[in-house]
Structures are given as C-alpha cells and as structure tokens.
C-alpha cells in the first residue's frame, strides 16, 4: 500500500511517519522546498518527542520519503491524506479551507487507478462533499472516494496517541474505501483500537464535538476553581470527587489559566460559526469560548494581587510560555495574554521556556528572556508558573529566594502546595485551592 500525505506540518508529518512505521510506503509532500530539504537531511521542523528518531528509522528502512512533487506522489498512491492547515479565517472565525480545496484541485488531475482521498485536516461538516465535487469537476473519469478521518493527536504525546488511540473515526460510504481504510489501520485494529465507521458528515462533526466537549470540560473546572476560591473549597479535590464517577471521568479536569493551542480555540470558534450558519446555535460552546478568552487575561489579576496590588515598575518572572509542556507551540498560549495584561499595568517581564522562546520572541515585545528559571528570577517580585514543564516541578526555592527581590510564587498550574514553598519563606498563590495559599 502506498500512502501520500499532502502537507508535512504537524499532523501530516506525525501521521505519515507513523503510517510508515506500520509498514506502509509513505510519501510526504509539501510545497515548502526548505522544509522538505530539511526533512531529507533528518531535521525536524517541529518539536515533538520521539519524532526525529522515528523519521530517521523509517527513512533508513526505505518506507518514508519527502518530496515537493505532488503529481508523482499522487499517481503512485492508493491512499492520499490531505493534512494541510485549516487556520481561523481572518475576520469571521470560520475555518479557512483554501489550502484543502487547493490540494483537492492539484490531486484531481493526477489520479491514477482507484484512489481513496482522506481529509485528515480538521474541516467543517460538508467539506468532504466539496472536495468530492471539485475532483469530479476537474476529472470526471477519476475513480475515487473521499473519506473523513480526523486526528485526535495531542502535541507532545502525538506518537503514542497515534499508535495507541482510544478510537479511529472513519467517515466513509463505499465498501471499497472502507476496506482500504481497514488495511491502512490494520496494525491498530489488530491491537484492539476500535475503528468507528460512520457517515462522512458525522465523522467531520465528531472531531469538532470532541474538541468542544474537552474545551468545555476544562472551562467547567476553571469556573469551579473560581467558585472554590470564593467558598473555601479545593478544586483539585472537587475534580477527584467528581472524576471518579465513570460517567464524568477524571481526565481534563485540571484547573489552570485557560486552554490554548492550535486546536481548541480555533475549533470551538469554527463549530460556533458552523452552528450559527445552520441556525442551530451551540450556546454552551459560545459561552465556553468567551469564558476562556477572559480567563487568560484575568490571570494577571492574581499576579497583581500577589505582589500587593500594583505591578508598576516591578519585575515579574514568567516560567513557561508554550500553551502546554513538551511542545514549542505558542499558538493562543495563555502566557501571551497574561504577559500583555501585566505589561499594560506597567510590569517588567522576564521569561523562560525550555522550547518556546524562539517562537515567543516573534510574539511579545519588551520581554527579557533568560536561560533558566533561576536566571529570570533575579530581582523579581514574583515568579509565575504558566506552563507545567517538568523542569519547573522541582525548583530550588532556597536558591530562588536569595536571588528574588521578594519571594512570591504564583502557581497557575497547581504543581506545588503551601507547605513546600512556605518553609522557604515564599508566599504562594495557586488556582482554586484557597487553603493551600500562604
């Protein structure tokens, strides 16, 4: 089986590499010459644990290759995955499908023999229909089927998510495409990961519904964190107490500074727009989006109160810039909103992130970057943990106290507790655990 993957970004590269690791022959295609050149030289354009080694071993085994020549790849392929970006469209929040449709147009002319064309990109309901129409119009004799197969990869855990998924959702109508997709995922199917066959439109909606539900779950616990602060309860215990109910489940109940990343903010917004277009509004998700937007900025208030009500002229050290650990992705990261809000109030910001600083430099102004937590903590009036990187889980508080102007820790990810930090003379603020604050 030969698989072509159009678009060698995050999803395309991880999926293509894992398909190759399953034993398929995979050709990853991208228009960006420099990206393909780098990949051919073993350089991975994104930070994803384990990916470099997996690319290397599959290239060496002759199963994985990279090219800018879409035509050749399409001609050879039995299955073509479209894994190009679907960013939020400027102005209206709809998913921008121009890259998906451009890929469909390019694919159409070169199809050779029965080919299954799969949308892997996150696309609104009905996109598969339009991809089919475009191809049919350009090449009326082509023998093909269009399938929807959304990804559920988490950045930082993408390879294990790909290889051990909770489920694989396939939106397909024809039997030929169904059997090709079963063959593509055969190793996982053998490993008992359920393949869920549904209609194409249903599959497209499942992707948005899944992300929206998770975004809502996080937002729910974040609001409960605020309420816990108000009534004197502990949100982590609340999360445990409700999470042990199997109907609720314990995952995605960590309160924090709000969700960010390349998926939740964009996909929730796109779902809201689709629903509005169909006069069937998803009001829970609309509210989720606005609560989360406000939350990111409002976390700055915690910092301001931790330093006595005024940050003007004070140095605030931010630990963690990426939207979550184990990624270099800064998209919609809460850190961006918090930094901006603190700067608006006159704070001086120093910041450190193990992987995100290269991207952060382009996104924030007037921030001094350091090489470690200790480096940025010098003369700071507060240390603010925004992202729970492992490197921040065992900080040397005695050392930090010596260097900081005032020993204050604002822990927006609840990775410490009062007792651990108070004994080093730190005052401590966290999220939704008033009893833990010192």
> Among all residues, which ones are annotated catalytic?
263
**Bridge partners of residue 147, in order along the sequence:** 118
Query: Quick one: which of 118, 263, 377, 383 contacts ligand UDX (CB under 6 A)?
Result: 263
The answer to whether the annotation marks 255 as part of a ligand binding site is yes
Residue 209: CB minimum distance to ligand UDX, A: 12
Query: Quick one: which of 9, 128, 261, 356 contacts ligand UDX (CB under 6 A)?
Result: 261
**Bridge partners of residue 82, in order along the sequence:** 6, 119
Q: Are 258 and 332 in contact (CB under 8 A)?
A: no
Considering the rule CB under 6 A, would residue 301 count as an interface residue with ligand UDX?
Answer: no
Give the span between the Cα atoms of 111 and 106, in whole angstroms. 10
Residue 253: CB minimum distance to ligand UDX, A: 6
Three-class DSSP category at 427: strand
DSSP element (H, E) containing 190: helix 186-190
Q: Which two tokens stand for residue 207?
A: 């992707």
Residue 262: CB minimum distance to ligand UDX, A: 6
- Could you give the string, one character per residue 220-259, with x where binding to ligand UDX holds by CB under 6 A and - elsewhere? --------------------------------xxx-x--x
Within residues 316-355, the interface with ligand UDX by CB under 6 A covers 323-324
Residues with Cβ within 8 Å of 53's Cβ and at least 6 positions away in sequence, in order, are none
**Residue 57 or residue 298: which is nearer to ligand UDX going by CB?**
298
Considering the rule CB under 6 A, would residue 426 count as an interface residue with ligand UDX?
Answer: no
Residue 49: CB minimum distance to ligand UDX, A: 13
- The C-alpha angle with vertex 365 and arms to 364 and 369, in degrees rounded to 5, equals 75
Residues with Cβ within 8 Å of 33's Cβ and at least 6 positions away in sequence, in order, are 68
Q: Are 296 and 334 in contact (CB under 8 A)?
A: yes
**Residue 134 or residue 195: which is nearer to ligand UDX going by CB?**
195
Residues with Cβ within 8 Å of 199's Cβ and at least 6 positions away in sequence, in order, are 171, 173
- The C-alpha angle with vertex 271 and arms to 268 and 276, in degrees rounded to 5, equals 130
Residue 16: CB minimum distance to ligand UDX, A: 16
Residue 59: CB minimum distance to ligand UDX, A: 25
Query: Quick one: which of 12, 85, 124, 260 contacts ligand UDX (CB under 6 A)?
Result: 260
Which residue is at the shortest CB distance from ligand UDX?
263
How many residues of this chain bind ligand UDX (CB under 6 A)?
Answer: 19
Considering the rule CB under 6 A, would residue 380 count as an interface residue with ligand UDX?
Answer: no
Q: Are 395 and 373 in contact (CB under 8 A)?
A: yes
Considering the rule CB under 6 A, would residue 151 count as an interface residue with ligand UDX?
Answer: yes
Choices 63-71, 150-158, 190-198, 295-303 (CB under 6 A): range interacting with ligand UDX: 150-158
Q: Which two tokens stand for residue 154?
A: 């988490």
Please state the three-class secondary structure of 322-390 as a single string.
Answer: CCCCCCCCCCCCHHHHHHHHHHHCCCEEEEECCCCHHHHHHHCCCEEECCCHHHHHCCCCEEEECCCCH
Output the CA torsion 365→370→374→379 (10° steps). -50
**Residue 336 or residue 404: which is nearer to ligand UDX going by CB?**
336
The answer to whether the annotation marks 253 as part of a ligand binding site is yes
**Bridge partners of residue 369, in order along the sequence:** 351
**Residue 218 or residue 408: which is nearer to ligand UDX going by CB?**
218
**Residue 253 or residue 376: which is nearer to ligand UDX going by CB?**
253
**Residue 66 or residue 323: which is nearer to ligand UDX going by CB?**
323
Q: Which residues bind ligand UDX (CB under 6 A)?
A: 151-155, 211, 214, 218, 252-254, 256, 259-261, 263-264, 323-324
Q: Which residues are annotated as a binding site for substrate?
A: 152-155, 207, 252-256, 260, 324
């Amino acid at each position: 089986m030969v698989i072509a993957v159009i678009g060698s970004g995050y999803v395309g590269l991880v999926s293509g590499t894992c398909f190759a690791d399953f034993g398929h022959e995979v050709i990853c295609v991208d228009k960006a010459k420099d990206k393909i050149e780098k990949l051919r030289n073993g350089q991975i354009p994104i930070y994803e644990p384990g990916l470099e080694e997996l690319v290397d071993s599959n290239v060496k085994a002759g199963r994985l290759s990279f090219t800018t020549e879409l035509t050749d790849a399409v001609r050879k392929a039995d299955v073509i995955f479209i894994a190009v970006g679907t960013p939020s469209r400027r102005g209206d929040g709809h998913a921008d499908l121009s890259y998906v449709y451009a890929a469909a147009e390019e694919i159409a002319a070169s199809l050779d023999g029965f080919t299954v064309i799969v949308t892997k990109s996150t696309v609104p309901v009905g996109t598969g229909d339009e991809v089919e129409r475009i191809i049919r119009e350009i090449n009326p004799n082509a023998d093909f089927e269009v399938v929807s197969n959304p990804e559920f990869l988490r950045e930082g855990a993408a390879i294990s998510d790909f290889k051990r998924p909770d489920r694989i959702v396939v939106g397909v109508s024809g039997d030929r495409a169904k059997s090709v997709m079963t063959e593509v995922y055969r190793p996982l199917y053998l490993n008992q990961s359920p393949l869920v066959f549904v209609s194409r439109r249903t599959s497209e909606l499942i992707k948005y519904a899944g992300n929206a539900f998770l975004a809502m779950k996080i937002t729910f616990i974040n609001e409960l964190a605020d309420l816990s602060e108000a009534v004197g309860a502990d949100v982590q215990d609340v999360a445990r107490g409700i999470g042990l109910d199997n109907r609720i489940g314990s995952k995605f109940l960590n309160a924090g500074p709000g969700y960010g990343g390349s998926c939740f903010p964009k996909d929730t917004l796109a779902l809201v727009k689709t629903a509005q277009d169909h006069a069937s509004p998803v009001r829970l998700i609309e509210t989720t989006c606005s609560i989360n937007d406000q939350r990111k900025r409002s976390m700055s208030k915690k910092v301001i109160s931790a330093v006595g009500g005024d940050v003007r002229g004070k140095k605030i050290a931010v630990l963690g810039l990426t939207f979550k650990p184990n990624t270099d992705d800064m998209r919609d990261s809460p850190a961006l909103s918090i930094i901006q809000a603190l700067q608006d109030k006159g704070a001086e910001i120093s910041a450190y992130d193990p992987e995100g600083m290269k991207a952060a430099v382009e996104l924030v102004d007037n921030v001094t970057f350091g090489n470690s937590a200790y480096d940025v903590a010098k003369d700071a009036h507060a240390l603010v943990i925004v992202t729970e990187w492992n490197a921040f889980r065992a900080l040397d508080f005695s050392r930090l106290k010596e260097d900081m102007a005032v020993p204050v820790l604002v822990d927006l990810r609840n990775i410490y507790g009062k007792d651990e930090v108070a004994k080093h003379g730190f005052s401590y603020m966290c999220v939704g655990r008033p009893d833990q604050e010192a």
